[in-house]
Amino acid sequence: MTIPGWLCKLLVVAYGIVISVATLVHAQPFPSRPVRLIVPFPPGGGNDILARSVGQRLSEVVNQQIIVDNRGGAGGALGAQIAIAAAPDGYTLFLGSVGNLAQNPVLQEKPSYDPLRDFAPVTLLATSVFVLAVNNAVPAKSVQELIALAKAKPGALNYASAGNGSSLHLAAEIFKHATSTNIVHVPYKGATPAFTDMIAGQVQMIITTMPAALPHVRAGKVRALGTSGRKRAAVLPEVPTIAETVPGYEVLNWQGITAPAKTPAAIVQVLHAKLVAALKLPGMNEALAHQGLDAAGAGPEEFGALMKAEIAKYGRVVKAAGIRAE
DSSP string, 1-54: -PPPHHHHHHHHHHHHHHHHHHHHHHHSPSP-S-EEEEESS-TTSHHHHHHHHH
Which pTM does this prediction carry? 0.85
| Angle ∠(162,306,304) on CA atoms, nearest 5 | 120
| Sequential DSSP letters for 162-230 | SSTTSHHHHHHHHHHHHHT---EEEE-SSHHHHHHHHHHTSSSEEEEEHHHHHHHHHTTSEEEEEESSS
Encode 134-168 in three state secondary structure: EECCCCCCCHHHHHHHHHHCCCCCEEEECCCCCHH
The phi-psi region of residue 267 (left if phi > 0; otherwise alpha if psi is between -120 and 50; otherwise beta) is: alpha
CA distance 40 to 74: 9
Q: Does the structural domain 129-244 have CATH classification 3.40.605.10?
A: no
Q: What are phi and psi of 186, to 5 degrees?
A: -125, 100
How do the pLDDT tens digits run along the chain, 326 residues long?
Answer: 455 665 555 555 555 544 444 444 444 689 999 999 999 998 988 899 999 999 999 999 999 999 999 998 887 889 999 999 999 999 999 999 999 999 999 998 889 999 999 999 999 999 999 999 999 999 999 999 999 999 999 999 999 999 999 999 999 999 999 999 999 999 998 888 999 999 999 999 999 998 889 999 999 999 999 999 999 998 899 999 999 999 999 999 999 999 999 999 999 999 999 999 999 999 999 999 888 899 999 999 999 999 999 999 999 999 998 887 76
Same fold, 35-127+253-321 and 129-244: yes
b/e map 21-60, b = 16+ CB within 10 Å: eeeeeeeeebbeeebbbbbbbeeeebbbbbbbbbbebbbe
Write the CATH number of the domain with boundaries 35-127+253-321. Answer: 3.40.190.150
| Cα distance between residue 51 and residue 57, in whole Å | 10
The domain limits of the chain are 35-127+253-321, 129-244
Question: In this predicted structure, what is the pLDDT of residue 191?
Answer: 87
What is 83-101 written as a DSSP string?
HHHS-SSSSEEEEEEHIII
Q: From CA 131, how far away is CA 236, in angstroms rounded? A: 10
The one-letter amino acid at 171: A
Residue 136 · residue 271 · CB < 8 Å: no
* Strand, coil or helix: 296: strand
Identify which of 137, 149, 166 has the alpha carbon closest to the alpha carbon of residue 323.
166
Please tell me what DSSP assigns to residue 125.
E
Give the three-state DSSP class for 303: helix
Assess contact for 259 and 88: CB atoms under 8 A.
yes
Backbone angles phi, psi at 104, to 5 degrees: -55, -45
